[in-house]
Amino acid sequence: MSKNSDFLSTLKSISNNVHFGNKTATDVADSLNGWLKEGGEALKVKIEDEVERSVSKMGFVKRGEFEALKQEVAALKKGTHQKSTKDATIKKTVKKVAKKAAKKKVVK
């Protein structure tokens, strides 16, 4: 109830300022717009925080976090695949060198 009376007293104050010529209607409208935007942003932040807290309690993650993890796993898999390909190439090269070395020993 306190918030209601604060709101009403603010409106009454604004109304008096307009009535006595201290503020124009445009000034009041600008003030109200600013006040509503601030209140809306504060409410939005509170809602986002609550949703995030509730969702994380349920074990869900944000799509952005999931996509980043998905890309990281793909990069790791790709790195492992490249490593195994490199290992296979190295093994083939070692076998060729070993065969050449064996032929040299036989020829001498």
| 15-49 tens-digit pLDDT | 787 777 777 778 878 878 888 898 899 999 999 99
Query: What contacts 17, CB < 8 A, 6 or more positions away?
Result: 23, 28
Express as a percent the part of the chain with pLDDT over 90: 19
- Are 5 and 54 in the same domain? yes
Distance CA 40, CA 34 (A): 10
pTM for this entry: 0.43
* Tally of domains within the chain: 2
Q: Which domain holds residue 88?
A: 62-108
17, 23 contact by CB (below 8 A)? yes
- Are 50 and 69 in the same domain? no
Residue 61 confidence class, pLDDT cut points 50, 70, 90 = confident
Distance CA 38, CA 24 (A): 21
- Are 49 and 68 in the same domain? no
Residue 1 confidence class, pLDDT cut points 50, 70, 90 = very low
